[in-house]
Every structure is written in C-alpha cells, then in structure tokens.
Chain A
Amino acid sequence: MRSRPDLLALYGVAYVLFLYGPLLLIPIFSFNDSIYVAFPLNGFTVRWYEELFANRVMLRAAWNSLMLAAAVSVVSTAVGLLAARALTRYRVSGRSFLLGMISVPLVVPGIVFGIALLILFRRFLGVELSLYTVGAGHLLLCVPFATLTLLSRMESFDLSLEEASHNLGENAWHTFWRVTFPLARPGVLASLLLTFTVCFDEVVLAFFLSGTEQTLPIYIYSQLRFPQRLPSVLALGTCILAVSIALIALAEWLRRGGGRHAQDGGQNA
C-alpha cells in the first residue's frame, strides 16, 4: 500500500485543480482590463466592479434574490427541523419510505418540477408568476436539503439528555428550548446557510417560475446575450462565489461536527 502513495496524491491534487481551475477564471477575468474575455490578459482594473454597483437592474435582482433566499431558508429550515425531529425522536412507521420521498426533489431534474409547477400555477390555479411562485419551487428543493442536513446532526444526539430533562420535571416545551434546540443549533445554522445558498443560486426552477421580477441568476442568464456585459457579469460572479464559498465552508464545518470529534468524527476528523 505504501509503495507508491505519490501517484494517488498527485491524482488527488490534479482532481482538485480540475474542480477549481475553471472557477478561478471568473475572478481572474473580472479584474482584466478588456471587454473581451480571452487571453492574453490586458492589465488590472476595477472598473467592472464600479459598473456593476451602478447597475440598478442588477441591484434590484440582487435584492430580490436576497429576500427570497432569506425567506426560503428560514421556512425550509423550520419545516426540516420538525421533520428531522420526528425522524430521530420517534420510531416512525415507513421511515425509509419517508426518507426516500423527501430525497426525491434532489434527484429529479429541476426542469421536471419547473414545468410541473408552471402548469399547476398557470393552467390550473391561474396564479400570476412572481417571486412567490419562484419561492414555492425553491421551497420544494430546500426542504429536503434542510431535513437531511438536520437529520445528520440530530441522529448523533444523546436522547438520554432529553429524558433526563423530562424526568427532572421539565415540560416538553422547556425541554425543547433548553436541551434539544441548543444541541441542534449547529445543524440549524448549517441548514440555514446551505438552503440560503441553494436558493440564491438556483436557476432552473427560477427560469420557469419567475415573472417580471428577476432573481439574480435569471439576471445573469439574461446578460449572456450581450457579450460586452460579460466582464461585469464576471465581477458579479466573483462576489457571489466569494460569499457562497465562505457560507458553504462554514455550513459544512458546522454540519460535520464543527471540528470536534462528533458522530462520524472518528472517520472524518
């Protein structure tokens, strides 16, 4: 096993380069002083960022996305918390069926739910498309993420702590707030961060379900037709990448046990 560890390590590094290499192009070209997004590079500039923050349409779309992601992440985390609680606290009949059902939206292509929800809203309910319809689509996607993220933290609970609190005379509500919730807090935070990012970046459902108010990814997609806007889109992309990588790294850290040797810490840490 030890005879040639270098080859495999080399592959690991090369693979990470393959994963991150293309993404690195976005910040590189966002500072490039040329309207053409192509090599050779032309010198450093921040004008694309200046252009970006003067762009009212973009700011409006960014505001829409922020509000939407905030609302969807809170609602889906609340729904997921209750579901994860039910699945960890009780021996539920049909547990694996429920888990399967909850996982379905993560596997089925977004376009299927995009058109299915579009049909429901437009042809059957006669609802106008708006940020609310996008939010409904994102909720469907984020509830599974929230539930599974929270499950992964809550399955490692020591239920005897709750029992102890119960035996010591605390009622269910107090037990929840003083024992369960503090234990679940890292998971809740991880779930909020993950669902926020998923909702903020989601484009397929938003494409089918958004009305006149754009979300940020829809705005970015609409700019694809104007090559001269590409550098400023890349500046926007750099900001989004920086923020989402920070949020996700934090969420992953919290979810996997925040560095301490939790649940599967023996394997992962």
Chain B
Amino acid sequence: MREAEEELPRIVGIARGRRGFLPSDNQAAYGLLFPALLVLFALMVVPLAALLALSFWRQEGFTLLREFSLDNYRFIFALSPEPRYLGAIPFPFENPIYLMLAVKSVLMSALATAAVVLLAYPMAYFLAFRTHQHKFIWLIVVTIPFWTSYLLRLYAWKIMLGGNGVVNASLMNLGVLTEPLGFLLYNPFAVVIVLAHSWAAFAILPIYVSLEKIDRSLLEAAANLGDGPWQRFRSITLPLSRPGIVAAVLLVFIPTVGDYFTPQVVGGTSGMMIGNIVQSLFTRTNNAPLGAAVSIVTMAIVTLVATGFVALAADRRKRPGGRDDAVAA
C-alpha cells in the first residue's frame, strides 16, 4: 500500500525534489489544509463510518432496525454441509453467492491486472528508452484515453465485440467466419479485455516512472562488461523497475474489483461481479444493510489480497540482487 501511496502522486506528475522548504509552521500549513481535510472527513471518513454502521443494522421488509447485530455477517458466512463450487473452489456456505462473487471478482481483476501490466510493460519500456524528442507527446497520447468518458469507452467496446461488431464483421469479410461469433460479448473475458483497456494508463505510468529513474550508466557498465541485452534486462532493468510494477498492480487491481459498469454493460450474467450485486442490494433487492456488509467483506478481502501481494513482492526484494534502495528512493 505504501508504494501505491508513493506512486500515485508521481503518476499525477509530482516532481520528487523538495528543495527550498521554508521553516516548519504547522499551524499555518494546517490552516491551508483545512478545507481539503474537511472534504476528506465529511465526504469520505463519515460516509465510510456510516457504511460500517449500517452493515450492523438489519432490514426487515421495509423497516430498518437500528440496533447492533451481526445478522448480516452471519447471513454471509453461515455454513452449509453441502458446498457449492466455483470452478474447483468449494464454498461451504448457506448463501454462497456473495463470497463466490467476491472471489470471482478478485480472480477476474487479477486476470485483468496481469493482462494490463504485461501489455503495459513493453509500452512503458518503449516510452522510457526509445522515445526522445517526442516523449512528451507520447506521454500525453497514452494518458488521454484514461480521461475520456468511461461510459463512452464501454459503448465503444460493445460496438467492437457485438454480434455485428467490428471483430465479427471483419472476420466474416475475410471469409474466416460464416456466422458471427456470439461469445465475444457478455462473458468474463469481455470484462477482462475492457478492464485491460480502461486501466492502461494506471499501469503504464508507474512502470514508466520507475524505468525512467534507472541510471543509464549501469546499463552501459553492464554492456561494457560483456552482458547481452537479455542479460542486462534481467539483471538490471527488470529488478529496478519492480517498484513500478508493484504500484501498477495495486493501482489496477484495487479499483477494478469494485467496478460495476463494465460487467453491467459487457459482462452479461456470466460476467457479473460483486459490484453488481451490491448495487442490486441497494436498489432492486432493497436490503441496504446486507449490501453494506457485503461491501465491507469485499473490501476486507481486497485489502488482504493486496497486502499479501505487497508482502510477497517485498520478500522477493530481500534476495541478493533485489534492490531495496530502489524502492526507498
């Protein structure tokens, strides 16, 4: 998490050099920070506390019972002797749908994250090492789609993958197909592709920043000592860009688990994610307390997975050859 916090300001373009600070004056500083902290407190901390509180209340029919109970959590975790299966994973619960969807969302996001980062790495490498005079333009070009309407990007993919969409029509024109492929849209893979497209910038930029910081003389030294390109990449570039990769993984993984519109528009029934069920609990199904509990449980799972990932990545860094100082920098 620390890396995500460190990387995020960098993505939005903060220069790291902090030169010329005037003497500390916390009172004045916190005075200036007050409006921002007020916004964060009133619109983030308080609502999250309200969400937590609601998850301990109960909904019976149309009335909300405002007294502390663990019923929602018991409902989610109630055990059953007959497990239901998601692939090979058993879910021995009375109402397995919530945990199943949460785990499925985590898996889909993990897949999307892997796809995003693998696709983004060569692009970031290209930006860092192969663009020279036009670097600035390339960076803007890569960033722009991220800022354009999320909903419109979804529509675009619907046209792309639909029954008579671009992919099907081109394949049919080429004579590869005689009938449109029905499986392109409304399934988990459509969701993964669209997520990979939507979050590209969040992966490219942190990796780019970490590659850009690599001291080029290290690469030259390695070359002079007779290392080939692949050897240089493995022993210098890849380990030194690890902080960027870790940040990219977190920045893509955490928000995508809760994505709700992407599965709604391109996922169909089989592509449903946890966000869809939370949304339905708050609207159609009208059980907001259960919805609150489901979101708390999901956030806990996501935090657990993210922390586990960071711990794993940190563990690997401690091996000889791993460079802890690159992270601290």
Contacts and interface: CB of A to CB of B under 8 A. Distances in A.
Q: Secondary structure at chain A's binding surface: helix, strand, loop or mixed?
A: helix
A186 interface: no
A157 B164 CA distance: 54
Interface stretch (B1-9, B75-83, B184-192, B238-246): B1-9
A258 to B, nearest CB: 10
Interface string A143-163: 101011101100111111001
Contact of B50 (A123, A137, A148, A249): A123
Contacts of B299: 112
B22 A112 contact: no
Contacts of B151: 201, 203, 217, 220-221
Contacts of A240: 148-149, 152
Contact of A18 (B144, B197, B258): B197
Contacts of B129: 1
A90 B26 contact: yes
- Residue of B20, B131, B150, B257 most packed against chain A (CB within 10 A): B20
A37 to B, nearest CB: 6
Interface string A109-137: 11111011111100110000000000011
Contact of B135 (A90, A104, A163, A267): A267
A87 B155 CA distance: 40
Contact of B47 (A117, A156, A268): A117
A12 B138 contact: yes
Interface in A241-269: 241, 244-245, 248-249, 252-253, 255-256, 259, 263-264, 267-269
A145 B14 CA distance: 12
A86 B44 contact: no
Contacts of B256: 109
B6 to A, nearest CB: 8
A83 B38 CA distance: 11
Name the interface size band of chain A. Answer: 35 or more
Contacts, number: 308
B123 to A, nearest CB: 5
A20 B20 CA distance: 42
Contact of B122 (A8, A112, A208, A220): A8
**Chain B binding surface SS class:** helix
Contacts of B170: 39
B287 interface: no
Interface string B49-87: 011001000000000100000000000000000000000
A158 B51 CA distance: 44
A105 B129 CA distance: 32
Given A241-B149, A267-B212, A89 B17 contact: no
Given A12-B138, A241-B152, A269-B136, A19 B160 contact: no
B310 interface: no
A85 B148 contact: no
Interface of B: 4-6, 8-9, 12-15, 17-18, 20-26, 28-36, 39-40, 43-44, 46-48, 50-51, 54, 64, 119, 122-123, 125-127, 129-131, 135-136, 138-145, 147-153, 155-157, 159-160, 162-166, 169-170, 173, 197, 200, 212, 219, 223, 229, 250-251, 254-261, 265, 275, 278-279, 282, 288, 291-292, 295, 299
Given A83-B33, A156-B15, A197-B147, 11 more contacts: A80-B36, A86-B32, A91-B21, A124-B50, A140-B44, A143-B36, A160-B20, A240-B149, A256-B139, A264-B15, A269-B135
